Amino acid sequence: MGAGVLRTRPPPGGDPFARLGGVLTCGSHSLEDLANEHATPLYVYDGDRILERLATLRDAFAADGADPGSPGLVVAYSVKANPGLAILKLLARAGAGADIVSGGELHRSLRAGVPAGLIVFAGVGKTRDEMRYGLRSGIRAFHVESAQELDVLGSVAGDLGQVAPIAVRVNPDVDSPTHAFTRTGHARAKFGVSPGRALEMYRFTAEHPFLRAVGVDVHIGSQIRDPVPFVNALDVVLEVAGKVRGDLGIDLEYVDLGGGFGISDGEADELDVRALARAITRRLHGTSLTLVIEPGRFLVGDAGVLVTRVLYVKRSGGKTFVVTDAGMTDLIRPSHYGGIHAVSLVREQDGGPVEAVDVVGPVCEQGDFLARDRHLALPHPGALLCVHQAGAYGFTMSSNYNSRLRPAELLVRGGRVKRVRRRESYSDLIRNEADE
């Protein structure tokens, strides 16, 4: 690969942002042309890549669909990774369901055409309003995270005269080697309940006229590249499912393994989903349990990039800073989670000799950076940089801090470019404020 490209390994299936004549492209459109037309910072998503990733998961987990012993599969896209309506529609048309964590995500999912029967609702703090909205919409299940929540859900369902389908989110107490903020499956995390508490909650459900147990759920964290913690977590929830059948005589319909399938960030390889799927489906073989998975980042992460223009190159304190027009307000992963994103020049020829640089944004915070201590062909002011693997937890975590305008988003599909969100204007900034 050429100068300025930090990605060491192209993702499997080929790089969706390949170089043509020294310039990065998306679906044969030059990112330079797109940036010139739509201004920077700019998010660009490759819709074909998203569908290819969905197919990869389906192939891996439902490898032998013809075998009557193999489990059914529901891919419930984790909406919070990238909740854009255009992306949700794309996935809904391809038959994906949705894993949601708020009423807002339910609204988006329904609006995008995700069938309610394929929507599962997680989260430790669902409000009564959100429960009512989910019940009225007829979602597949609530993934309940505490005994109090289950009690409240039962009473909300009773008020509506409806039965609430539920799965208990189990905390399997497995360690997952990922950042502390994205590690959710250890005993001291706020998510889920212990297997013992889960059984008590299934017992409560069995005796409640307005609750019905349909599944068991686990989600151990994000950006996990080792199959072992997933398999350990599955073993814990299968044991719970076995006790629910043995003690209460209830056959659950599905087991939900959650999401968190890690992708490559240019430094480490992605999770081997085929190896994971083999281990998982082997354990489910012969049971009547449907498998639900909730991938977010795996589907959209490397299908998106953030394109930004270099404003200045500044040398100070023995360091070289590349100041870009995008910052933590556009992509907060580097400063919030220590997220690593490969950064490369959109046009190879726009750089000088390779140097160690910090790529920093214009926001008035020392923690505002996109990359630190990176070896990059020193870009000329005005050059465009591409920040890779920005399709998940990118735009959706953006903010107006420093009264900055949030960028436009483009979706490229089958060679066609669609602007799926316009860049904000100054009037958008103050739209909801009373000015006297």
Ligand X SMILES: *Cc1c(COP(=O)(O)O)cnc(C)c1O
The residues of the shown chain that bind ligand X, judged by CB under 6 A, are: 78, 80-81, 99, 101, 122, 219, 222-223, 258-261, 294-298, 392
Nearest distance from residue 293's CB to ligand X, in Å? 9
What is the total residue count of the chain?
Answer: 436
Q: Is 432 helix (H, G, I), strand (E, B) or coil?
A: coil
CA angle in degrees (0–180, nearest 5) for 44-50-52: 135
Nearest distance from residue 134's CB to ligand X, in Å? 15
Catalytic residue among 68, 148, 207, 364: 364
Nearest distance from residue 288's CB to ligand X, in Å? 23
Tokens, residue 406: 């949030």
Question: Do residues 74 and 291 lie in contact, with contact meaning Cβ atoms separated by under 8 Å?
Answer: yes
| Cβ distance to ligand X smaller for residue 221 or 351 | 221
Residue 151 class from Cβ within 10 Å (0-12 exposed, 13-18 middle, 19+ buried)?
middle
Most distant pair of Cα atoms in the chain: their distance? 71
CA proximity to 141, closest of 44, 39, 213, 230 = 213
> How far lies 103's CA from each of 134, 159, 202, 420, in Å?
8, 19, 25, 22
Stretch (H or E) spanning 345: strand 343-345
Tokens, residue 42: 């700019």
Q: Which residue is nearest to ligand X (CB)?
A: 296
Nearest distance from residue 76's CB to ligand X, in Å? 8
Question: Do residues 128 and 139 lie in contact, with contact meaning Cβ atoms separated by under 8 Å?
Answer: no
Nearest distance from residue 67's CB to ligand X, in Å? 27
CA dist 17 and 35 (Å) reads: 14
| Cβ distance to ligand X smaller for residue 194 or 396 | 396
Cis check for the bond before 41: say yes or no (omega within 30 of 0). yes
Cβ neighbours of 401 (radius 10 Å): 14
Q: Is 141 helix (H, G, I), strand (E, B) or coil?
A: strand
The answer to whether residue 26 is catalytic is no
| Cβ distance to ligand X smaller for residue 223 or 398 | 223
| Cβ distance to ligand X smaller for residue 266 or 296 | 296
| Cβ distance to ligand X smaller for residue 25 or 171 | 171
| Cβ distance to ligand X smaller for residue 78 or 324 | 78
Question: Do residues 215 and 237 lie in contact, with contact meaning Cβ atoms separated by under 8 Å?
Answer: no
Residue 420 backbone phi and psi in degrees, to 5: -100, -5
Nearest distance from residue 65's CB to ligand X, in Å? 23
| Cβ distance to ligand X smaller for residue 110 or 299 | 299
Cβ neighbours of 353 (radius 10 Å): 7
Which residues are designated catalytic? Answer: 364
